[in-house]
């Protein structure tokens, strides 16, 4: 993907979202926000505040309870090493799976955790993960891993590591959708690849903070234009025909699924 392609993608995002979901009585549209605006929205988002508070409390508990600092630090490091694989597995096989929208009991969950984001990649309100969904997952993964390594000190250290990584993940993801080009070449490259995931082919480049697991799993695409543009890049396969068979997401949305975000032109890497 060329630099002009990512510029086009950001321009499309700028026109894509119009009705961001708000908190504290505000709405947030990434195409109209500066980096300073994003930071202000980020630090005031309730889930981020909860993650940060847990990280501080759990980190203090780990330091207080630790009798073997090396093992305690190993528990935290284990989560750092495990995190990219969890990030990838959830994104590829759960968020992009089609089984959740096929049940009335999980349709609302899938709509909130990923469908809305692909329908409008610009809406900051649905870009952030829902605390009710993410926090239990962090607890289920971090606490047993940490406890197995170093008891309660390890569990606390692992939880502090997991919530800190979640804060980093959310900020990284926000920056990838912000209508600002990173000056750092690595960050710009990650942004390009993530925009290609949203605007050209949703079946590649699942990483958010790293594309290492994509490379290991064979889903990394360095040049997205080598693939034909996916017709389901904005609806993840939940098109009008699928909505007829499984209507629950469409009913919650109040409209048929779109094949592109509102206001978007043709794909970011398809020219």
Residue 25 has pLDDT above 90, yes or no: no
**Highest-pLDDT range among 41-50, 151-160, 199-208:** 151-160
Distance CA 52, CA 171 (A): 13
Residue 209 has pLDDT above 60, yes or no: yes
DSSP 237: T
Residue 220 has pLDDT above 70, yes or no: yes
Say which range, 24-38, 118-132, 223-237, has the weakest mean pLDDT: 24-38
The helices-and-strands tally (H runs, E runs) of the chain is: 12, 0
Say which range, 92-101, 123-132, 197-206, 252-261, has the weakest mean pLDDT: 252-261
DSSP 92: I
- Give the pLDDT of residue 184: 87
Distance CA 146, CA 66 (A): 12
pLDDT digits (tens, 9 = 90+) for 223-244: 877 778 899 999 999 999 999 9
- Give the pLDDT of residue 22: 52
Average pLDDT over residues 170-174: 94
- Give the pLDDT of residue 27: 65
Residue given tokens 């508070």 in the structure block: 53
DSSP 200: T
pLDDT digits (tens, 9 = 90+) for 39-69: 989 999 999 999 999 999 999 999 999 999 9
Residue 203 has pLDDT above 50, yes or no: yes
> Residue 163's pLDDT band (boundaries 50, 70, 90)?
very high
């Amino acid at each position: 993907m060329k630099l002009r392609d990512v510029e086009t993608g950001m321009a499309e995002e700028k026109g894509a979202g119009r009705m961001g979901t708000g908190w504290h009585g505000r709405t947030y549209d990434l195409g109209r926000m500066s980096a300073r605006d994003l930071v202000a929205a980020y630090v005031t988002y309730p889930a981020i505040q909860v993650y940060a508070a847990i990280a501080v409390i759990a980190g203090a508990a780990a330091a207080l309870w630790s009798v073997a600092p090396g093992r305690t630090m190993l528990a935290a490091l284990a989560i750092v090493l495990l995190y990219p694989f969890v990030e990838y597995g959830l994104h590829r096989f759960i968020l992009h799976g089609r089984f959740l929208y096929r049940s009335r009991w999980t349709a609302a969950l899938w709509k909130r955790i990923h469908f809305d984001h692909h329908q409008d990649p610009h809406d900051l309100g649905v870009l952030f993960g829902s605390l009710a969904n993410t926090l239990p997952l962090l607890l289920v993964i971090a606490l047993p891993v940490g406890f197995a390594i170093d008891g309660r000190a390890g569990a606390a250290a692992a939880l502090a590591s997991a919530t800190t990584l979640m804060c980093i993940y959310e900020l990284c993801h926000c920056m990838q959708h912000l209508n600002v080009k990173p000056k750092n070449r690595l960050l710009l490259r990650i942004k390009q690849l993530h925009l290609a995931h949203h605007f050209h082919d949703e079946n590649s480049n699942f990483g958010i903070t790293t594309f290492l697991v994509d490379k290991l799993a064979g889903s990394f695409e360095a040049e997205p234009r080598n693939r034909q543009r996916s017709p389901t890049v904005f609806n993840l396969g939940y098109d009008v025909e699928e909505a007829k068979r499984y209507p629950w997401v469409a009913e919650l949305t109040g409209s048929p699924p779109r094949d592109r975000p509102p206001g978007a032109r043709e794909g970011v890497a398809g020219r």
